[in-house]
Structure 1
Protein backbone atom coordinates (compact mmCIF):
# COMPACT_ATOMS: atom_id res chain seq x y z
CA UNK A 1 0.00 0.00 0.00
CA UNK A 2 2.92 2.28 -0.65
CA UNK A 3 1.96 5.48 -2.34
CA UNK A 4 3.98 8.61 -2.92
CA UNK A 5 0.98 10.82 -2.13
CA UNK A 6 0.82 9.50 1.44
CA UNK A 7 4.41 10.47 2.19
CA UNK A 8 3.06 13.96 2.83
CA UNK A 9 1.40 13.45 6.19
CA UNK A 10 -1.13 16.13 7.05
CA UNK A 11 -0.49 18.79 9.64
CA UNK A 12 -3.46 17.36 11.54
CA UNK A 13 -1.68 14.01 11.80
CA UNK A 14 1.55 15.64 12.96
CA UNK A 15 -0.40 17.63 15.56
CA UNK A 16 -2.03 14.44 16.83
CA UNK A 17 1.38 12.87 17.35
CA UNK A 18 2.70 15.98 19.08
CA UNK A 19 -0.22 15.76 21.53
CA UNK A 20 0.63 12.10 22.15
CA UNK A 21 4.25 13.08 22.70
CA UNK A 22 3.04 15.62 25.27
CA UNK A 23 0.93 12.95 26.97
CA UNK A 24 3.94 10.63 27.24
CA UNK A 25 6.08 13.43 28.66
CA UNK A 26 3.30 14.09 31.15
CA UNK A 27 3.36 10.43 32.18
CA UNK A 28 7.13 10.57 32.71
CA UNK A 29 6.69 13.67 34.87
CA UNK A 30 4.00 11.90 36.88
CA UNK A 31 6.38 9.00 37.46
CA UNK A 32 9.18 11.32 38.51
CA UNK A 33 6.79 13.00 40.96
CA UNK A 34 5.77 9.61 42.37
CA UNK A 35 2.12 9.88 41.37
CA UNK A 36 -0.28 7.03 42.05
CA UNK A 37 0.07 3.95 39.84
CA UNK A 38 -3.63 4.17 38.94
CA UNK A 39 -3.21 7.72 37.63
CA UNK A 40 -0.10 6.81 35.61
CA UNK A 41 -1.87 3.83 34.04
CA UNK A 42 -4.90 5.99 33.21
CA UNK A 43 -2.69 8.45 31.34
CA UNK A 44 -0.74 5.67 29.60
CA UNK A 45 -4.04 4.13 28.47
CA UNK A 46 -5.14 7.49 27.07
CA UNK A 47 -1.87 7.80 25.14
CA UNK A 48 -2.22 4.26 23.79
CA UNK A 49 -5.78 4.97 22.70
CA UNK A 50 -4.65 8.13 20.92
CA UNK A 51 -1.88 6.16 19.20
CA UNK A 52 -4.36 3.49 18.08
CA UNK A 53 -6.63 6.17 16.61
CA UNK A 54 -3.63 7.69 14.82
CA UNK A 55 -2.72 4.35 13.28
CA UNK A 56 -6.28 3.90 12.08
CA UNK A 57 -6.31 7.39 10.62
CA UNK A 58 -3.07 6.89 8.68
CA UNK A 59 -4.16 3.49 7.35
CA UNK A 60 -7.59 4.84 6.34
CA UNK A 61 -6.18 7.88 4.54
CA UNK A 62 -3.57 5.76 2.78
CA UNK A 63 -6.15 3.16 1.78
CA UNK A 64 -8.46 5.85 0.42
CA UNK A 65 -5.66 7.32 -1.71
CA UNK A 66 -4.51 3.92 -2.97
CA UNK A 67 -8.01 2.75 -3.85
CA UNK A 68 -8.75 5.93 -5.80
CA UNK A 69 -5.48 5.57 -7.69
CA UNK A 70 -6.11 1.89 -8.45
CA UNK A 71 -9.66 2.54 -9.61
CA UNK A 72 -8.46 5.33 -11.90
CA UNK A 73 -5.97 2.89 -13.43
CA UNK A 74 -8.52 0.07 -13.67
CA UNK A 75 -6.59 -2.07 -11.19
CA UNK A 76 -8.18 -4.38 -8.58
CA UNK A 77 -8.37 -3.09 -5.01
CA UNK A 78 -8.83 -6.33 -3.05
CA UNK A 79 -5.12 -6.62 -2.21
CA UNK A 80 -4.99 -3.04 -0.96
CA UNK A 81 -7.87 -3.65 1.39
CA UNK A 82 -6.33 -6.87 2.68
CA UNK A 83 -3.00 -5.13 3.26
CA UNK A 84 -4.72 -2.33 5.20
CA UNK A 85 -6.48 -4.87 7.39
CA UNK A 86 -3.17 -6.61 8.06
CA UNK A 87 -1.51 -3.32 9.05
CA UNK A 88 -4.27 -2.63 11.56
CA UNK A 89 -4.11 -6.17 12.94
CA UNK A 90 -0.31 -5.98 13.34
CA UNK A 91 -0.59 -2.72 15.27
CA UNK A 92 -2.63 -4.40 17.98
Structure 2
Protein backbone atom coordinates (compact mmCIF):
# COMPACT_ATOMS: atom_id res chain seq x y z
CA UNK A 1 0.00 0.00 0.00
CA UNK A 2 1.26 3.45 -0.89
CA UNK A 3 0.69 5.43 2.29
CA UNK A 4 -0.57 8.98 1.76
CA UNK A 5 1.48 11.93 2.95
CA UNK A 6 -1.16 12.93 5.50
CA UNK A 7 -0.85 9.65 7.44
CA UNK A 8 2.93 10.02 7.50
CA UNK A 9 2.47 13.55 8.84
CA UNK A 10 0.11 12.22 11.53
CA UNK A 11 2.74 9.73 12.62
CA UNK A 12 5.43 12.41 12.71
CA UNK A 13 3.19 14.47 15.01
CA UNK A 14 2.74 11.42 17.24
CA UNK A 15 6.50 10.94 17.27
CA UNK A 16 6.84 14.56 18.45
CA UNK A 17 4.23 13.98 21.14
CA UNK A 18 6.14 10.94 22.43
CA UNK A 19 9.37 12.96 22.53
CA UNK A 20 7.47 15.61 24.47
CA UNK A 21 6.29 13.02 27.01
CA UNK A 22 9.87 11.79 27.46
CA UNK A 23 11.01 15.36 27.98
CA UNK A 24 8.27 15.87 30.57
CA UNK A 25 9.45 12.75 32.40
CA UNK A 26 13.07 13.92 32.32
CA UNK A 27 11.92 17.26 33.74
CA UNK A 28 10.01 15.33 36.42
CA UNK A 29 6.67 16.88 35.52
CA UNK A 30 3.58 15.95 37.47
CA UNK A 31 2.33 12.40 36.86
CA UNK A 32 -1.14 13.65 35.88
CA UNK A 33 0.34 15.83 33.14
CA UNK A 34 2.38 12.91 31.77
CA UNK A 35 -0.65 10.59 31.79
CA UNK A 36 -2.76 13.25 30.05
CA UNK A 37 -0.18 13.53 27.28
CA UNK A 38 0.16 9.75 26.98
CA UNK A 39 -3.62 9.50 26.63
CA UNK A 40 -3.45 12.05 23.81
CA UNK A 41 -0.75 9.94 22.12
CA UNK A 42 -2.88 6.81 22.46
CA UNK A 43 -5.88 8.59 20.93
CA UNK A 44 -3.76 9.82 18.03
CA UNK A 45 -2.42 6.31 17.42
CA UNK A 46 -5.94 4.84 17.54
CA UNK A 47 -7.17 7.41 15.01
CA UNK A 48 -4.20 6.64 12.76
CA UNK A 49 -4.92 2.91 12.89
CA UNK A 50 -8.54 3.55 11.98
CA UNK A 51 -7.53 5.79 9.10
CA UNK A 52 -5.06 3.27 7.67
CA UNK A 53 -7.52 0.38 7.97
CA UNK A 54 -10.28 2.47 6.36
CA UNK A 55 -8.08 3.50 3.43
CA UNK A 56 -6.90 -0.07 2.94
CA UNK A 57 -10.47 -1.37 3.13
CA UNK A 58 -11.59 1.19 0.59
CA UNK A 59 -8.93 0.20 -1.95
CA UNK A 60 -9.47 -3.54 -1.35
CA UNK A 61 -13.23 -3.22 -1.77
CA UNK A 62 -12.80 -1.39 -5.06
CA UNK A 63 -10.36 -4.09 -6.22
CA UNK A 64 -12.77 -6.89 -5.21
CA UNK A 65 -15.66 -5.14 -6.95
CA UNK A 66 -13.63 -4.77 -10.15
CA UNK A 67 -12.88 -8.50 -10.06
CA UNK A 68 -16.53 -9.28 -9.42
CA UNK A 69 -15.65 -11.07 -6.18
CA UNK A 70 -17.27 -10.95 -2.74
CA UNK A 71 -16.02 -8.33 -0.31
CA UNK A 72 -16.92 -10.33 2.82
CA UNK A 73 -13.36 -11.60 3.39
CA UNK A 74 -11.88 -8.11 2.98
CA UNK A 75 -14.39 -6.64 5.42
CA UNK A 76 -13.71 -9.38 7.98
CA UNK A 77 -9.96 -8.79 7.69
CA UNK A 78 -10.47 -5.07 8.36
CA UNK A 79 -12.63 -5.83 11.40
CA UNK A 80 -9.98 -8.24 12.71
CA UNK A 81 -7.28 -5.60 12.30
CA UNK A 82 -9.32 -3.07 14.26
CA UNK A 83 -10.15 -5.55 17.01
CA UNK A 84 -6.52 -6.66 17.29
CA UNK A 85 -5.36 -3.06 17.71
CA UNK A 86 -7.49 -2.54 20.82
Specify if TM > 0.5: yes
Which residue pairs with 1:3 in the alignment? none
Which stretches of structure 1, 4 residues or more, deviate above 3 A after TM superposition?
none
Which residue pairs with 1:18 in the alignment? 12
- Point out where structure 1 has 5 or more consecutive residues left out of the alignment: 1-5
Q: Please, what is the CA RMSD of the aligned residues?
A: 0.4
Instruction: Trace 1:36-75 onto structure 2 (pairs within 5 A).
Output: 36-75=30-69
- Point out where structure 2 has 5 or more consecutive residues left out of the alignment: none
1:76 paired with 2:70, answer yes
- Give TM-score, length-normalised by structure 1: 0.93
How many angstroms does 1:10 deviate by? 0.5
How many angstroms does 1:71 deviate by? 0.2
Rounded to whole Å, the distance in 1 between the matches of 2:55 and 2:62 is: 11
Give the secondary structure class of the aligned counterpart of 2:6. Answer: helix
Aligned residues: 86
Give the secondary structure class of the aligned counterpart of 1:34. Answer: coil
